[in-house]
Amino acid sequence: MKNTKKFVSVVLAFCMLGTTTAVTSMAATTDAETVSGNSVAVDTTATKALEELDANYRYDGDDLGATYTKDATTFKVWSPTATDIKVNIFTKGSDDEQGASKVASYRLEKDDATGIWEIKLTGEWKDYYYTYTITVVNPTTGETTTSETQDVYSKAVGVNGNRSMIVDLDSTDPDGWDKDTHVFQNEVTDSTVWELHVKDFSYDASSGVSEANRGKYLAFTENGTTLNGEGNISTCIDYLKELGVNTVQLNPFYDYASVNEAGNDEQFNWGYDPQNYNVPEGSYSSNPYDGNVRIKECKEMIQALHDAGISVVMDVVYNHTYSTDSCFQKTVPNYYYRLNKAGTFSNGSGCGNECATERAMYRNYVIQSCLYWVNEYHVDGFRYDLMGIMDVETMNQLRDALDQVDTKVTMWGEAWTGGDSYHPTNTCDGTKFKSAVQSNAGSLSERIGIFNDSVRDAIKGGAMSIANIGFVQGSKGAAKGISYGLFANSNANYKWKAKAPSQSVTYADCHDNAALYDQLVASTASGDYGNRYEDLVKMNKMAGAIVNTSQGISFMLAGQEMARTKYGDTNSYKSSPEINKINWNNILEYQDLVSYYKGLYEIRKNFTPFTAMDKSYSSAYTLNQSMGSAFSNQVAFTVKNDQPDEWQTMAVIHNSAKKAEEVKLKDESCTEWVIIANDKTAGLKKLGEVSGSTFTVPAISTVIAVDKASFDKLALDDGMGQVTVNYVYEKTGENLVDPEVIQGTIGTGYATGENTSIPETYVLSRVEGPVEGRYSETPAVVTYYYADYVPESFKNADLNNDGIVDVRDVTLMQTIITNPSSVDAETFAKIDVNYDTRKDVNDVTALQTYTTGKPVSSGSVTVNHYYTDENGEVKKITPSTTISGKVGDEYTTTSYRTIGYTVDTTKTPENVNGHIPYGVDMSVDYYYVASSMDVKLHVKHNGSLTWNPSLWLWGSDTNGVDADNYTTSGEWPGDTLTEKDENGWYVKDFTCTKAGSYNIIVSDKGTNQTIDYKGFIDNELWIVIDDSNVMGGTYLTFYTENPDNNPNAPIAVPIA
């Protein structure tokens, strides 16, 4: 009867408060307190009902779920408002498997005092699968539902996670598991973190991993893998050891719902879609049907990383679940989720729901879950996705709980939300709710790290647009953010303030938004993604230098050090594995960049001020410019060190100018320096010396120097050998690009290759030196020599058939042009040596140039786009573009795409396609006529969300410069659409006022705002809102046909 009284009181509380709903709602609207970071305190009728559940049924035990022994299995379910629970036993994890059948169902008994349902089944139940059928009253609505669900506390599951499994965890331990131990860093700030997705790591064949294990847990267990299996350059685990990273942060590898585990291997998702928090994801295992296999193989992965001396940080997503049709909701409806004042699910995650860490049982769940992964799987730390949705009190209690295992278990997270988060005023402990956002960093433990997005944006430019520039691309204004970031934002408040360096994760890129190298390509308009550009390699080096000479936790996306590309995809969460994979061939093409990062890690680990947990070295820094006033292409500073066995003084100068600069240090106490990092390499070796306080810093580079006295005294040895690779124009002896310096542990393999940034108008003629081999104590030199490319037409211009092309052929060409009938057709065809489709004096001039030994390798084609204005004047719609390349190479042109004009098909140019000529001005001229400026947009949700979309619309001219505003009110957030047709489509009509394109931002009345979607020219578009991913600002898909009518509707392609 005790339980009955409690249960009635909960429902009664709901009913009584329900009678004052109107008043409560108005009060909530009036009195709602904006806490921080779009976090809003709102108390509703539901709040009171759920608080009463916490008060009466709080349970702190760790034995919920299925507990297995050989003699019996005990099932425990916390569901105080349930009226009936049965456990259903199955032979298999799904009905589609051979031998699948239901064994039996058993009714659980309820403990009136705790709200826990329990049954003990005697006998051996190992490897059987189970679900619960739960009849439960929703404590916030009084509605009764009956559902079948997997166990909230599942430790093993079948395929796709819909059935839990009874597991003997001891039997899943790999050989030697009892000897596997945690790998911790002495201090969290000693961490050098490589953020990685399990599938990305080995999916590409270039990884050298066996085909069966590519993209799987077991890929990590393969030792000795090499690039393309060729046996020379290490990949995967061995590569990580060579690189010098000591921590791997793995994107979610708990069981997530967005990949069909029974499907093919071409599926991909980042995994931020939690289904079963305490079970490894099955798609990474060799057999997702057997619940034991994923557990064992996940442990083997972690064991392999530990054997390599690498810490394992698990990316966890306790802020939301994949959907609200979850095991949590079916077990205790609405308890585990936050509700807004309208009684619907709060969506601070941008994923349709957010979990209530302030509720006693969810808080306990999160803590027990983390402890489970630490103890059962030997995980060494956690990264908390959208930590800002979680509350400070939970995070600090979690820190305390993990400290009971070891104080070196690491914790860091994203201290922001993905939208407006609605939560109760108080937590289950009666204290005021504080969200774990940056503005509340002072309330968080200093050993809970926060991603420092301010230094990220300062380094490469704001993450919300791939076109933004930061310090490394030349932004003087970004110097301020770099300066604050030197101290991990712990010295002063710049956008946020850390309590100590240990509370800041210092980084330039991560899985979200654009990869660093992609943003460098896009923001500098350098060319195509995936290509090598020497200036961008320098910028990448500088980004790494800034991170690793700043305080905080050093962090980067896997592959940053090898110029990883996702081909401009800024939200690749469900893009193909081909887009997301690590292309291990990059470690050869960018071996100088990889080597630079190796050296930076050596410098960082040998200089305590950079890795200090606290602010004890704050006063040891002398900056050339104060943090608050920094506005320059140079950031320079010195640091004093009190550690006797380390360098005593270090100078760091970052120069993002496009030319070399003379920089004088403000601190002149040291005047004898040894350079250990420059524009080419970094590490512990002497690269040069400087007397005085003035340094010449090459363009787009970082110089790091240490005092000569301590350098000479310590004589540190990094154990690495070096190879210098030169790329020389043989005719003059000049370098075509700067020499590359590559380095690696003595005895390990290296290989060199051509530099792909060298224009194709040069061709390799010969190579001197050991192009591949083993690093040794003796530095090696390899030189690639290049000559001018010679087009085939010039090689074949031996008109007199004497075996050589010389001035006599030039003379004969003049004769043939004057009298074409004097030769046969085959000889006459050779006359067009310059590829301009004509046979004239220009060919003679070109051939004469060739015979004098001058290059005839490169040419160009100009593409023009014309229209006739209302006054009859012919003008250009957009600036001309130039196609440059090897003479004779094929070129292709396309018309310009713009709203308001279309190609005049009566004037289509004859040379739309052709070959690049030499020595002549060739143009391709397109002409355009006016067309409609009217635009019709159709907008629709693809899921359960119901908010009316607000559209902010504006135009860009033909140069891409923002122009007119097309929003009716002209005020943010724009036009909110309220009317839908019978198929759920909202419609917005507007008219562009000039040629160019139009741009769109969609939001929920200003919240959950998308990125700027720019460059559309279609007169009609269908825009689909992905309700499952209203997070991160990239949740729209644009079609040029109605996708309801055409499942293969074309995707709209914006202009570049």
| Stretch among 232-236, 432-436, 608-612, 961-965 having the lowest mean pLDDT | 961-965
Return d(Cα 877, Cα 996) in angstroms, integer: 9
Q: Indicate the residue among 20, 35, 54 that finishes a domain.
A: 54
Q: Is pLDDT at 8 greater than 70 in this prediction?
A: no
* 218 in a structural domain: no
Domain match, 710 and 623 both: yes
Taking a C-beta distance cutoff of 8 angstroms, is the pair 624, 636 a contact?
A: yes
Q: Is the peptide bond before 274 cis (omega within 30 degrees of 0)?
A: no
DSSP H helices, 651-722, are 708-714
Return d(Cα 1023, Cα 1003) in angstroms, integer: 13
Q: Give the model confidence (pLDDT) of 483-520 as tens digits.
A: 999 999 999 999 999 999 999 999 999 999 999 999 99
- Of 506, 466, 854, 542, nearest to 698 by C-alpha is 542
Residue 568 main-chain phi, psi, to 5 deg: 85, 0
DSSP H helices, 438-589, are 453-460, 479-485, 516-524, 534-548, 577-580, 586-589
Rg of the Cα atoms in the chain? 33
Q: Is pLDDT at 700 greater than 80 in this prediction?
A: yes
Mean pLDDT of the chain: 94
Q: What is the dihedral of CA 587, 592, 596, 599, to 10 degrees?
A: 90
Give the pLDDT band of residue 627 (cuts 50, 70, 90). confident
What is the per-residue pLDDT for 1033?
A: 79
Give the pLDDT band of residue 17 (cuts 50, 70, 90). very low
DSSP secondary structure letters along 191-260? -EEEEE-HHHHH-SGGG---GGGTTSGGGGG--S-BGGG-SSSB-HHHHHHHHT--EEEEP--EEESSS-
Domain match, 910 and 958 both: no
Domain containing 16 equals 2-54
Taking a C-beta distance cutoff of 8 angstroms, is the pair 519, 468 a contact?
A: yes
What is the per-residue pLDDT for 554?
A: 99
Q: Which of 414, 679, 718, 843 is catalytic?
A: 414
* 130 in a structural domain: yes
What is the per-residue pLDDT for 271?
A: 97
Look up residue 901 and give its DSSP letter: E
* 814 in a structural domain: yes
Return d(Cα 765, Cα 460) in angstroms, integer: 38
Look up residue 1052 and give its DSSP letter: P
Q: Give the model confidence (pLDDT) of 913-959 as tens digits.
A: 999 999 999 999 999 999 999 999 999 999 988 899 999 999 998 88
Domain match, 724 and 677 both: no
Residue 61: Cβ within 10 Å count: 11
Contacts with 46 (C-beta within 8 Å, 6 or more apart), sequence order: 14, 140, 334, 339, 343
Domain match, 773 and 753 both: yes
Domain match, 804 and 891 both: no
Return d(Cα 809, Cα 802) in angstroms, integer: 9
Q: What does the pLDDT average to over 325-337?
A: 98
What is the per-residue pLDDT for 970?
A: 85
What is the per-residue pLDDT for 969?
A: 82
Domain match, 829 and 906 both: no
- Of 551, 495, 696, 707, nearest to 37 by C-alpha is 495
| Stretch among 259-263, 367-371, 1011-1015 having the lowest mean pLDDT | 1011-1015
| CATH number of the domain within which 877 lies | 3.10.20.320
What is the per-residue pLDDT for 12?
A: 33
| CATH number of the domain within which 73 lies | 2.60.40.10
760 belongs to the catalytic site: no
Domain match, 942 and 1025 both: yes
Return d(Cα 487, Cα 536) in angstroms, integer: 26
Domain match, 87 and 139 both: yes
* 329 in a structural domain: no
Q: Indicate the residue among 687, 714, 741 that finishes a domain.
A: 714
Strand partners, 776: none
Domain match, 874 and 960 both: no
Domain match, 680 and 634 both: yes
Domain match, 820 and 902 both: no
What is the total count of domains within the chain?
7
* 707 in a structural domain: yes
* 730 in a structural domain: yes
Q: Give the model confidence (pLDDT) of 767-810 as tens digits.
A: 999 999 999 999 999 999 999 999 999 999 999 999 999 999 99
What is the per-residue pLDDT for 1032?
A: 66
* 100 in a structural domain: yes
| CATH number of the domain within which 1032 lies | 2.60.40
Domain match, 40 and 80 both: no
Give the pLDDT band of residue 37 (cuts 50, 70, 90). very low
Give the pLDDT band of residue 1 (cuts 50, 70, 90). very low
290 belongs to the catalytic site: no
What is the pTM assigned to this prediction? 0.90
Q: Which of 385, 512, 569, 707 is catalytic?
A: 385
Q: What does the pLDDT average to over 268-290?
A: 98
Residue corresponding to tokens 């990685």: 196
Return d(Cα 716, Cα 876) in angstroms, integer: 62
Q: Is pLDDT at 10 greater than 80 in this prediction?
A: no
Q: Indicate the residue among 108, 126, 151 that finishes a domain.
A: 151
Q: Is pLDDT at 20 greater than 90 in this prediction?
A: no
* 288 in a structural domain: no
Taking a C-beta distance cutoff of 8 angstroms, is the pair 151, 119 a contact?
A: no
Residue corresponding to tokens 């600069």: 661
Give the pLDDT band of residue 1028 (cuts 50, 70, 90). confident
What is the per-residue pLDDT for 3?
A: 36
Q: Is pLDDT at 2 greater than 80 in this prediction?
A: no
What is the per-residue pLDDT for 15?
A: 34
